Chain A
Amino acid sequence: MQRLGGSARQVRQTLTTWSFILPSLIGLGIFVYGSLVYSLYISFTSWDLLTPARWIGFANYARAFRDESFIQCLYNTVYFVVAIVPLGIVFAMAMAMVLNKQLPGIGFFRAAYYVPSITSTIAIGMVWLWIFNPDQGVLNAILKLVGVSNLPRWLESRVWAKPALSIMRLWQVSGYYMIMYLAGLQNIPNELYEAAEIDGATGWQKTRYITVPLLSNTTFFATIMLIIEVFNLFEAVYVMTEGRPGGSTNTILYYIYAQAFQRYRMGYASAMAWVLFVILFVITLVQFAARRRKEEIGF
């Protein structure tokens, strides 16, 4: 009798425990894990949503690597990574150093730099679309004012569309990483700087040999996050260029979206989504491995 009472209590306890956790697990099971498996299946089929999916094996994957538009998207993404990541990191770190100073009104500047990163890319993308407008836009008006004669056609030009988009993304995302660096800076103990001052270190030397190395952890995560962010470039392209001119601003995610929801090639789009996933996964792994190696050789 007593044992029975004990096990009833145990059952009740188990039920309580699972009642806390099951709603999340069921939802994630369906919408994340289930979707993941489903997505892998779709990537091996030819499916237009209307007729039943047909199993075609690896054909979608093979097709992706022969598809010139997809290759162009990969190239464009590499361009954006090179244009945005190093500049974004340097700019965020440098501005964080300035914002870390205890000056009157510094709170206002921190907030002002951060605001672009909470703003919707769709909305502010439309504003930038007009800023970059070659005839009525403010950017060319300023360039004209300072005497530039051969005004770029920005988003209409094959040469200038990528830099224009990079400028807009740099403007929008760097505030976020700047706050990350600000947090990193506030973790550096003041004694280090005091000791360096006693040894007669200059401001530049302190930055070079104390600040930058001690921020390497922040730099590591910021770089990974920024690369992922650039690989997922979508909304700015959607509002500002739709991949034009001539596919020169097309990105992987935009191409996936267009293939899936404008041309209804669900299988092909899923296969490209998996390729993108694998690329991001490998990049992250390589960065973690590189960091471990750096630590081993005591860099």
Chain B
Amino acid sequence: MKRKKRLHIAALYTILVSVALIMIFPFVWSVTASLKTRSQIYSGNPLDLIPDPATLNNYRKALSVLPFHRFLLNSLVLATTVPVISITLASMAAYSFARLQFKGRDLIFMLLLGVMMLPGHVTLIPRYALVRKLGWINRYTALIIPPIFSASLVFNIFFMRQHFLSIPRELEEAALIDGCSRWGVWRNIIMPNSKPAIATIAIIGFKTEWNSFLWPNVVINDFLKMPIQVGLTYLQTNVQSSWDILMAATTLSIIPLIVIFVCFQRYFMAGILTSGLGGR
């Protein structure tokens, strides 16, 4: 019996390790390749993972072909401002849905939920036309404002409302009796009591915007305002199949998210467990 159990565990680990190898391999491959010399990449054995000699030359080249530091900076701006504004607006709306009485509240809430069912591609062309009419092409406003008002805002409203409903009413009633305004309650009582919920949707939002491609690709073609994913595709066209440079660039673009993932893993997981259709 004991021997059978040990065999069982060995079998489980064999599965775990072999699947993990497949899952991690592309990352390992791109990191190691980014450190190889050009001659090793083109004439060496692709299965040889160890860079010999190791070099940072590919990174230097990637950074000099296109303004990569700008791409990273723009993505950082995009991936922080959009979630911050979205979560602020969502928490405000969520507070009124959770606590305030007004005409048409439930109807408006249902109408908003409908947005989550709407695939983003249906609004792509009209949004582009609108942004073009407003003269926002190649401006940060085009990069940032339209993505705020999308299904993710509605998801955030829904998510924050659920969370607010779980905060005991007594906390705010005392403050209201003391003459605190609704805004004061929202700012000083509700928001400070929602930090884990905010962290969860902030992390999802950061990931979504860091990885976003289609919209920025359509509205930005100025290198100085381009986020990293769009910049990568321009690099790809520029250097064709210079895998050494491309792998350095992809590694640069993937690493920030992996670091964030390792630090905030539990918020990522919490994000999936609560997200359903909207959180992606």
Contacts and interface: CB of A to CB of B under 8 A. Distances in A.
Given A120-B210, A145-B47, A183 B273 contact: yes
A220 B121 CA distance: 24
A141 B257 contact: no
Contact of A28 (B26, B45, B100, B115): B115
A32 B118 contact: yes
B16 A39 contact: no
A257 B92 contact: no
Contacts of A253: 121
A114 B262 CA distance: 11
A136 B244 CA distance: 12
A186 B2 CA distance: 26
Given A39-B125, A277-B122, A136 B243 contact: yes
A136 to B, nearest CB: 6
Given A32-B123, A39-B123, A103-B13, A118 B268 contact: yes
A276 B119 CA distance: 9
Contacts of B243: 130, 136
A115 to B, nearest CB: 7
B233 A38 contact: no
Contacts of B90: 24
A179 B218 CA distance: 33
Contacts of B92: 20-21, 23-24
Contacts of A32: 115, 118, 123, 149-151
B29 interface: yes
A69 interface: no
Give the secondary structure class of A's interface.
Answer: helix
A256 B218 CA distance: 13
Interface residues of A, number: 84
Interface string A109-148: 1011111101111111011101101001110011001000
Contacts of A108: 20
B186 interface: yes
B198 interface: no
A165 interface: no
A294 interface: no
Interface string A29-46: 011101110110010000
A266 B125 contact: yes
A24 B157 contact: yes
B12 A124 contact: no
B167 interface: no
A115 B119 contact: no
B129 A49 contact: yes
Interface string A85-113: 00000000001001101010010110111
A223 B241 CA distance: 36
A115 B233 contact: no
A121 B97 CA distance: 36
Interface in B63-122: 89-90, 92-93, 95-97, 100-102, 108, 112, 115, 117-119, 121-122
Contacts of A180: 272-273
B22 interface: yes
A270 interface: yes
A23 B211 CA distance: 26
A124 B273 contact: no
Given A109-B20, A179-B273, A141 B45 contact: yes
Interface in B170-220: 181-183, 186, 207, 210-211, 213-214, 218
A14 B103 CA distance: 10
B37 interface: no
B102 A179 contact: no
A142 B247 contact: no
A128 B26 contact: yes
27 contacts: A16-B100, A23-B89, A28-B149, A30-B130, A32-B149, A34-B126, A39-B123, A39-B126, A42-B125, A98-B15, A103-B9, A113-B20, A114-B268, A118-B257, A119-B254, A120-B213, A124-B26, A124-B254, A127-B26, A130-B33, A138-B29, A141-B46, A171-B22, A235-B214, A238-B213, A256-B124, A266-B125
Given A27-B89, A28-B115, A253-B121, 7 more contacts: A24-B149, A35-B127, A49-B129, A108-B20, A127-B30, A138-B29, A176-B272
Interface of B: 9, 12-13, 15-16, 19-20, 22-24, 26-27, 29-30, 33, 41-42, 45-47, 89-90, 92-93, 95-97, 100-102, 108, 112, 115, 117-119, 121-130, 132, 145-146, 148-151, 153-154, 157, 181-183, 186, 207, 210-211, 213-214, 218, 229, 232-233, 236, 241, 243, 246-247, 250, 253-254, 257-258, 261-262, 265, 268-269, 272-273, 276-277
